[in-house]
Structure 1
Amino acid sequence: MKSHVKALVVGGGAVGTSIAYHLARAGWNDVMLLERDELTSGSTWHAAGLLPLFNMSYATTHIHKYSVEFYKSLEAETGLNAGFSIVGNLRMAQTQDRMDEYMLYASTAETAEVPYEWMTPGQIKDRWPLVHVDDLKGAIYHPTDGYINPADVTMAMAKGARQRGVMIERKWQVDAYHWTGSEWQVTCTKMVERGGNLVPSEEQTVITAEHVVTATGNHAQRTAKLLGIKTPAIPVEHQFIVTEPDPALVEYRRNGGAEHPVLRDADAKWYVREERGGWILGPYERNAPARFAYGVPDSFRADLFPLDLERIEEEYMSMIHRLPTSETVGLKDDFNGPICYTPDGNPLIGPAPGLRNMWLAEGFSFGITAAGGTGHYLAQMMVEGEAEIDMASLDPKRYGSWMTTDYAVAKNEEAYEHVFILHHPDEERERARALRTSPAYDRQKARGAQFGQVNGWDRPNYYAPQGFDDHASRSFRRGGWWQYAVEEAKAIREGVGLIDATAFTKHLLKGRGATAFLDWFTCNKLPKVGRINLTYALTSAGTTRTEYTIVRLAEDTYYLVSAGAWTAYDSDFLMKAIEDKMDDFGWMSCHDVTTQWGVFAIAGPKSRDVLKEVIRDADPETALSNKRFPWLSARQIELGMCPVNAIRVAYTGELGWELHHPIEMQNYLFDLLMDAGEKHGIKLVGARAQNWLRQEKSYRAFGTELGRDATPLEADLPRFVDLGKEFHGKAAMEKTGVRAKCVTLLIDGPEDADPWGREALYDGDTKVGRLTSGGYSVAFGKSIGMGYVTPELAVPGKKLKVRMFTKLWDAVVTEDSPYDPKNETIRKDG
């Protein structure tokens, strides 16, 4: 066994073998894979092997699509049949709400060029007569996918990897990782069979690797402990049963009937497929427990848990309802094994927090579906520096150090039972709530706040009357909350509103090297002392890695504000860059101060009037004037007894200020502002109205318009890029050019719905782009959206179409910042 390799992959399931294969295919000719037992001996061996393309995530959709196409090519390369049965995938709907979900998903599928068809109940019955359809509304059908044999596809990828020079070593367990400063030393122990168990022997070796990838499946908690990091990847029990042959199905196939597609009755929470004349039923029931929260016992190998039929009785009976001929068929086999989950159901793919050249590929609840695409896109990240799609939504650092085992268990169990529960775009799941709260949480709740969760923080989405049921209001169209968000948006445009933005990520950077570092790290000019600017840190590929508002507090002291959803993600990137450049630029220190400072954003034509009531200044009338406090500047002020770092900027595009205050004084400041604002009609405003308002100003948001698949120039932000200086990613950005361009569109959509930011854009019958954000504009009285189109179409006045609920609706490209394009309102003096 070699002692030094370019890349070491730990884990020999479908995901690990795919990563090893794709690294070799990408040109790394010194790759080794270690498996502690046998290939496929983890969750891979008891997976059902389904390949569902359905997914609301743009990145995950691309990953699944790649897998399906890749698996079809394996036999030609390796000579091994992966057992791919291309029977299609039929998702049935019992309700109109479910059909609405499929329509929203279908537009996402279009943007990734995933084929689909719509089917009526009658068409289903004509094609597959064993299916009971009387209570169905319809279905969406994917003709290109189906199911595969998990062990066979893993072995085919392993053979393909070996053919490309990958060394695969079985029965070696990793027991320690040590970073030398330039490479990893990985201590491995030879595992041996003893009494049916797999136990460590006395034989050990150390493998030195430039890069390490962990794809350890159910053993992710052990891996995290060895690395000294946290991960929410914890398995949940998943059961499926196999029936005896169904005589009616056997007869149907004998008479030339086509194999049934993988059937999914989402409203009944199960999937079913044919298996040797019988049926496999896989339910996603409530109360499936998480397992191995603190690690997999040494005695657990390719083992299973006892079947709990009582727990899946409801789903079993609903299968009989949907396939009546299955009622008299006996059970042939059952499986109840651990499948790894994460709180949002998506895998963890990318660099490990705080570590160099350590890559994670963990938490795969649909590992067979995702394995091929994960290998492809992770190899791109490792070899080329970035993937061709934005992988930020799957980054392991989307869960920060605040995350605990209890949190992961609660959310993973919830994610499991939500596999087939309606995925409303405005859904907010109930478990582990009110975990991270700003001090004003109780005051906001008492005033009707309906909270959403972002990065563990509960923040107001909107405010409703007492007794309003947020859960019942959710919809794929305009939910019951919509009218309240409209009122809040109007309050900002016409009066004054207060938004809790405490979840913003905040870093304090200072030291003699800080200025030179930031000048290299970001693409815009640095502000002068007392001023602010908006800027971007780029990836090595020249795309947008992070958006910052930089406040220059002193010559070498900076306060950096970025998106609240991305604290650990931003912090890790920033800290590593500082460490890399300390010798070049000089000493500097950087601290994450997110939880030390609360933030209120006050905005609207009357915002200055409210602040005048409470500011303590020798001349309160002029303290907030343009002369003393101009737009895009920052000052330390006193509001009553609260010291405030005030920034004259507003994400809503109205006259306003961000009030950064000591978090322990938040309740005092909240009461002060609400009391002072009462006579001015102040209104509390949530994140949904704010999201609409920022689109009226064409303000891009990180994670939607801004990401690792587009440069700032493609985001059409040249005013924030200083091409007269050198900065990280500049050359790559210029080389990339402008492949697509970000635009704002006003949309004449259906009367009861707005786009969500996942919809396909058309020029005539040609798909030309996609929306990345959507909502309603109170200024224009119609739907609004932002997205990317081919550059020649990014012209104000260009008429396009938006796909919503299977129809194409008129849309027109507007000028940038259609509301107040000259920024007269935001600069208003007083």
Structure 2
Amino acid sequence: MKTHVKALVVGGGAVGTSIAYHLARAGWDDVMLLERDELTSGSTWHAAGLLPYFNMSYATTHIHDYSIRFYKTLEEETGLNAGFAVVGNLRMAQTDARMDEYMLYASTAETCGVPYEFMTPEQIKAKWPLIRTEDLKGALYHQTDGYINPADVTMAMAKGARQRGVMIERKWQADAFNWTGEAWEVTATKMVEKGGNLVPSDEQIVITAEHVVTASGNHAQRTAKMLGIKMPAIPVEHQFIVMEQDPELVKFRADGNGEHPVIRDADAQSYVREERGGWILGVYEHGAPARFEHGVPDSFRADLFQLDLERIEEQYMAMIHRVPSCETSGLKDDFNGPICYTPDGNPLVGPAPGLDNMWLAEGFSFGITAAGGTGYYLAQMMVEGEAEIDMASLDPKRYGDWITTEYAARKNEECYEHVYILHHPDEEREACRPLRTGPAYDRQKAAGAQFGCVNGFERPNYYGPLDAPDSFDHDARSFRRGGWWQYAVEEAKAVREGVGLIDATAFTKHRISGPGATAFLDWFTTNKLPKVGRINLTYALTAAGTTRTEYTIVRLAENDYYLVSAGAWHAYDQDYLYKAIMEKEAEFGRINEEDVTTRWGVFAIAGPKSRDVLNELVKDADPSTVLSNKRFPWLSYRDIELGMCPVRAIRVAYTGELGWELHHPIEMQNYLWDQLVAAGEKHGMKLVGARAQNWLRQEKSYRAFGTELGRDATPIEADLPRFVDLSKNFHGKAAMEKIGVRSKCVTLLIDGPNDADPWGREALYDGETRVGRLTSGGYSVAFGKSIGMGYVTPDLAVPGTRLNVRMFDQLWDAEVVEDSPYDPKNEVIRKDG
């Protein structure tokens, strides 16, 4: 057994085996995989093996698509049949809202090249007469997926990995990880059978690995403790039953008919597929408990939990309704096993926070579907530096250190039961909320705030009626213009015509100072650094030249900087900044880095009357001139006093109106809020939420990180050359220039349906040709129609180009407009007073 390797993969389920295979296929010839038991002995062995394309995530859809295509090639390469039954996947809808969900998803699938078709109830019944259809609205059908044998596909990948030189060692458990500064020393213990249990022996070895990947499945909490990090990957019970033969099904097949597709009755929270003349029923029910919150017992191997039939009785009866012929079929077998989840249902794939060359592949609720694609794209990240798609939505650092075991367990239970609950783009799930709140939360709630959750932090989405029963306005959700839409319209109009107050406390904030700060930031970011007292928008790139982070940099002093970035990406930005400083400090000199996110609150005030409101509160010898262009020009900062509150005021507005960000000591937030609300009353100031702000920033073509900005496009492709100083050397510059311009970001005004706006997941067409996709969408109060931003081929990124947007399975007219269609010369934002 080797003790020095290039890469060590810990975990021998479908995910770990795929990673080992793809690392070898990508050219790494010294890869080892450790499995504490037998291959597939974790959740892989009891997985139902379904391969659903359906996913609202762009990255995850690509991962699933790769897996499905890859699994079809394994037999030719390895000689092993992976047991792939390409029977298709039929997602049925009992309601119009469910059909709206499928149409939104279908447009997302289209952007990834995933084939699909819509079917009517009559078409379903004609093709599969055993299915009851009179209460259906229709269905979405993926003809190219189906189900696979989890053990067989894992063994096929393992054989392929061995053929490519991967060493697979079973019955070895990773018990400790130690970073030497150059490599990982992994202590592995030989596991032995004892009384039916698997126990550690006295035999240990230390394996030195340049890179380590953990794919430990149900053991993720044990892995996290050994690494000293937090991971919200905790299993939840998942039940499915296998039924005896259905005589009608046996006859149907004997008559020469093909196998039924996987039947997904989402409104009944269940899936059904054929199994040897009978049926398998799997459910995603309410009340399934999280398990192994603090680790898997040593006695638990390829084991199951007791079946809880009462918990799935409703879904069982719904299956009999959908496939009446199964009513007389008895129960043949049952499974209730642990399936790992995360709070948002997406796995944790990418670099571990705070650690060098440690990679995570944990928290897979659809592990068989995702295994192939995860191995492919993670290998790209490890070998080439970045994947060809933006993997940020799966990055482990989308969750910060504030995550606790209790939070993860409860949110994972919620995520499980939401698998088949309508996936509204504007949904806000309730579990574990409110948890992280600013001081003004209660005041905002009392004013009608309906909150969204950003990195666990409560942030007003919009302000509804004061008699709303609580902070979670379920009736407001929709795939079209929900109940919140009109409130957001009024808020957006208030900013354009008067003045609005927005809570932006969730922003990520860092202080960078010290003798090496200036040289470091000049290397780390793309734009010129601002002069003292000024601000700049800038970007940090990946090593591959794509956009890693967006920053607003405020220069407080010669070597003292205040960095503001997206609140949703706090730990993600913190980790990248920290690792870059550690890499360059010896070269540039001492660099002090402070995370001051929770020390400073932020209110944004914007609109033509914003200066009037602030003038009511400014304390100065000549208060009428404090906020003038002469004393406080656009893109500058000043320390001012508003009443008794010291404020770091930044003259910038994400809405594109005259405005300021008011960064203030968090302990004074309630005082400042009360002062602003009182001062704004006579000027008609309106409280404004994040949804209106999102619309307003699109009218200004302001790109947002996580939508227009990400690791699959450069700032040049995002059409932001004014924030890239090519006269200096910066991290990722050469790679960025080598990429060129593959696609280009544009803003479009859209003549869409009169009851809906795009969500930023839709495909763009030029005639019959798909030419791009939207990344953001919404409504424009300035133009009275839908608006969106997205990427198209460079030849189409010309104002006046006519395109189409796919919404609700129809193509709607859209026009590429000039950048910043509202106030393109920035005259409003520079308004003097």
Moved segments of 4+, more than 4 Å = none
Would you say 1:651 and 2:665 are equivalent positions?
no
**Residues 541-620 of structure 1 correspond to what in structure 2 (within 5 A)?**
541-620=544-623
Determine the structure 2 residue equivalent to 1:754.
757
Q: 1:171: Cα distance to partner?
A: 0.1
Determine the structure 1 residue equivalent to 2:74.
74
1:219 maps to amino acid:
H
SS at match of 1:37: coil
Distance in 2 (alpha carbons) for counterparts of 1:17 and 1:196: 25
- Cα deviations by residue, 1:8-51 (Å, 9 ceiling, x for unpaired): 00000000000000000000000000000000000000000000
Query: Equivalent of 2:540, from 537, 540, 551?
Result: 537
SS at match of 2:45: helix
- Cα deviations by residue, 1:260-286 (Å, 9 ceiling, x for unpaired): 000000000000000000000000000
Determine the structure 1 residue equivalent to 2:91.
91
Query: Equivalent of 1:701, from 700, 704, 711?
Result: 704
Distance in 2 (alpha carbons) for counterparts of 1:358 and 1:467: 50
Query: Equivalent of 2:672, from 662, 669, 673?
Result: 669
SS at match of 1:489: helix
Determine the structure 1 residue equivalent to 2:511.
508
**Residues 221-620 of structure 1 correspond to what in structure 2 (within 5 A)?**
221-468=221-468, 470-620=473-623
Would you say 1:714 and 2:717 are equivalent positions?
yes
2:142 maps to amino acid:
H
Would you say how many aligned residue pairs link Structure 1 and Structure 2? 830
Determine the structure 2 residue equivalent to 1:29.
29
Determine the structure 2 residue equivalent to 1:692.
695
SS at match of 1:350: strand
Would you say 1:737 and 2:740 are equivalent positions?
yes
Determine the structure 1 residue equivalent to 2:219.
219
Distance in 1 (alpha carbons) for counterparts of 2:505 and 2:454: 11
Determine the structure 2 residue equivalent to 1:20.
20
SS at match of 2:136: coil
- Tell me, which stretches of 5 or more residues in structure 2 are unaligned? none
Q: 1:434: Cα distance to partner?
A: 1.0
Determine the structure 1 residue equivalent to 2:130.
130
Q: 1:481: Cα distance to partner?
A: 0.4
- Cα deviations by residue, 1:213-244 (Å, 9 ceiling, x for unpaired): 00000000000000000010000000000000
Distance in 2 (alpha carbons) for counterparts of 1:223 and 1:820: 52
SS at match of 2:6: strand
Distance in 2 (alpha carbons) for counterparts of 1:588 and 1:811: 48
- Cα deviations by residue, 1:253-306 (Å, 9 ceiling, x for unpaired): 000111000000000000000000000000000000000000000000000000
1:421 maps to amino acid:
I
1:786 maps to amino acid:
M
TM-score (norm 1): 1.00
Query: Equivalent of 1:764, from 747, 764, 767?
Result: 767
- Cα deviations by residue, 1:163-185 (Å, 9 ceiling, x for unpaired): 00000000000110000001000
Same amino acid, percent of matched pairs: 83
Determine the structure 2 residue equivalent to 1:802.
805
SS at match of 2:598: helix
Distance in 2 (alpha carbons) for counterparts of 1:498 and 1:579: 39
Distance in 2 (alpha carbons) for counterparts of 1:281 and 1:185: 45
- Cα deviations by residue, 1:717-753 (Å, 9 ceiling, x for unpaired): 0000000000000000000000000000000000000
Query: Equivalent of 2:828, from 805, 809, 825?
Result: 825
Q: 1:211: Cα distance to partner?
A: 0.1
CA-based RMSD of the aligned residues comes to 0.4
Q: 1:466: Cα distance to partner?
A: 2.3
Would you say 1:63 and 2:63 are equivalent positions?
yes
SS at match of 1:594: coil
Determine the structure 1 residue equivalent to 2:641.
638
SS at match of 1:614: coil
Distance in 1 (alpha carbons) for counterparts of 2:425 and 2:642: 38
Q: 1:602: Cα distance to partner?
A: 0.3
Distance in 1 (alpha carbons) for counterparts of 2:797 and 2:172: 55
Distance in 1 (alpha carbons) for counterparts of 2:372 and 2:789: 31
TM-score (norm 2): 0.99
Determine the structure 1 residue equivalent to 2:2.
2
Distance in 2 (alpha carbons) for counterparts of 1:191 and 1:768: 54
SS at match of 2:242: strand
SS at match of 1:621: helix
Distance in 1 (alpha carbons) for counterparts of 2:183 and 2:498: 58
Determine the structure 2 residue equivalent to 1:790.
793
Would you say 1:195 and 2:195 are equivalent positions?
yes
Q: 1:467: Cα distance to partner?
A: 3.1
Distance in 1 (alpha carbons) for counterparts of 2:457 and 2:467: 23
SS at match of 1:776: strand
Distance in 2 (alpha carbons) for counterparts of 1:235 and 1:606: 52
Determine the structure 1 residue equivalent to 2:157.
157
Query: Equivalent of 2:632, from 601, 622, 629?
Result: 629
Q: 1:468: Cα distance to partner?
A: 3.4
- Tell me, which stretches of 5 or more residues in structure 1 are unaligned? none
Distance in 2 (alpha carbons) for counterparts of 1:620 and 1:764: 58
SS at match of 1:303: coil
Larger deviation: 15-24 or 466-475?
466-475
SS at match of 1:55: coil
2:354 maps to amino acid:
G
Distance in 2 (alpha carbons) for counterparts of 1:13 and 1:33: 10
SS at match of 1:436: coil
Distance in 2 (alpha carbons) for counterparts of 1:527 and 1:193: 65
SS at match of 1:205: strand
SS at match of 1:437: coil
Query: Equivalent of 1:811, from 806, 811, 814?
Result: 814
Q: 1:511: Cα distance to partner?
A: 0.3
- Cα deviations by residue, 1:42-90 (Å, 9 ceiling, x for unpaired): 0000000000000000000000000000000000000000000000000
SS at match of 1:775: strand
1:362 maps to amino acid:
E
Determine the structure 2 residue equivalent to 1:774.
777
- Cα deviations by residue, 1:326-357 (Å, 9 ceiling, x for unpaired): 11110000000000000000000000000000
SS at match of 1:508: strand
Q: 1:567: Cα distance to partner?
A: 0.3
Distance in 2 (alpha carbons) for counterparts of 1:432 and 1:399: 14
2:672 maps to amino acid:
L
Distance in 2 (alpha carbons) for counterparts of 1:509 and 1:517: 10
Q: 1:588: Cα distance to partner?
A: 1.0
Determine the structure 2 residue equivalent to 1:179.
179
Distance in 2 (alpha carbons) for counterparts of 1:593 and 1:395: 22
1:686 maps to amino acid:
G
Q: 1:472: Cα distance to partner?
A: 1.1
Determine the structure 1 residue equivalent to 2:112.
112
Q: 1:473: Cα distance to partner?
A: 1.6
1:539 maps to amino acid:
T
Distance in 2 (alpha carbons) for counterparts of 1:682 and 1:473: 24
